[in-house]
Amino acid sequence: MAPALIVVSAVTLFPIVYSIYMSFNHIHLTLHGFRFHWAGLSNYRLLWASGLYRYAIGFTVVYAAITVLAELILGTLAALILQRLRWGRSSLLALLLLPWSLITVISAEMWSYIYNGVYGVLDAILLTLHIIHTPVVWLGFPQLAIASTMFADIWKTMPFVAILVLAGLEMIPVEVIEASHMDGATAWQIFWRVQLPLIRSTMSLAALFRILQAFGLFDLPFVLTGGGPGTATESIAVLGYQVMFQDLSFGPGAAVAASTTALVLIMAMVFLWVFRGMAEEGMA
């Protein structure tokens, strides 16, 4: 037990704290190591003065909010379908596991081929259906690129949410649903008044987990759009990577990383607070 804990803390907890310490220093890489000089808040001042940083924070928060909400709604819908489905249920479940297990870099390349403005299949389908009349360069305009990135994200993660919600739904005793049915409740009432309140804790945990992941958004925009066009899809993590590993500015980079930590902690606390409110409401 003890040795495992030490390894885990050394590699997980320690870097988070150390990253915050780094963000208050100027860092110079030497041949084999590195040197620190105390810098106070200057890294943060530098970042705050840059529009790029403020945009990245805003983009990441909005992106996380929209994708997680969409995934929860669509995932719940999918779970309700799966719950009622008898024929082909286990094959569909297996199919849903594929996007979850797919390397994100591969799914990003897959979508970049689908979205291609010259030979992309999305344009071909929409042209055939007469929904558009000229090919659209999906990744060429800021708002379209953001929406396309979100869609690719939802494709990969919605099935995961669906399986989580389905697991929550399956844990509700059949008698509860049958009883509400006998009392004359409609399907919609059963979902809204009986099932949803009972799977609230499952959904909250799924949401929290997804929000934490979404704040770290990196693989998809890094490969699909490279943060572009311009800097339209540049998330905090993509910016942090560029500052640290392309400009080799580890001080400001650590400040970018530390702001992710701050965002995640704030989010987790807000979430726990809201969730606590929900739990009390449920008991009343």
Contacts of 162 (CB under 8 A, 6+ apart): 74, 75, 76, 78, 79, 82, 96
Rule CB under 8 A: choose which of 65, 69, 73, 121 binds other proteins: 121
247 binds other proteins (CB under 8 A): no
Which parts of the chain are beta strand (E)?
Answer: 25-29, 34-38
CB of 51 to other proteins, least distance (A): 20
Rule CB under 8 A: choose which of 71, 160, 195, 227 binds other proteins: 160
85 binds other proteins (CB under 8 A): yes
126 binds other proteins (CB under 8 A): no
CB of 232 to other proteins, least distance (A): 19
CB of 146 to other proteins, least distance (A): 19
Interaction residues for other proteins, span 37-76 (CB under 8 A): none
DSSP state of 193: I
Interaction residues for other proteins, span 250-269 (CB under 8 A): 250, 253-254, 256-258, 260-261, 264, 268
What are the Cα distances from residue 106, in Å, to 222, 235, 261?
Answer: 12, 19, 27
Q: How far apart are the C-alpha atoms of 233 and 146, rounded to whole Å?
A: 6
Q: Which is nearer to other proteins, 104 or 232 (CB)?
A: 104
CB of 253 to other proteins, least distance (A): 6
118 binds other proteins (CB under 8 A): yes
Interaction residues for other proteins, span 188-217 (CB under 8 A): 201-202, 205-206, 209, 212-213, 215-216
Determine whether 172 is exposed, middle or buried from the number of CB atoms within 10 Å of its CB (0-12, 13-18, 19+): middle
The site for other proteins, by CB under 8 A, has a size of 96
What are the Cα distances from residue 204, in Å, to 46, 88, 162?
Answer: 36, 29, 13
Q: Which is nearer to other proteins, 232 or 257 (CB)?
A: 257
Rule CB under 8 A: choose which of 61, 70, 114, 137 binds other proteins: 114
Q: How many CB atoms lie within 10 A of CB 217?
A: 21
184 binds other proteins (CB under 8 A): no
Q: How far apart are the C-alpha atoms of 160 and 167, rounded to whole Å?
A: 11
The two three-digit tokens of residue 63, written as one number: 């992106």
The two three-digit tokens of residue 76, written as one number: 């719940």
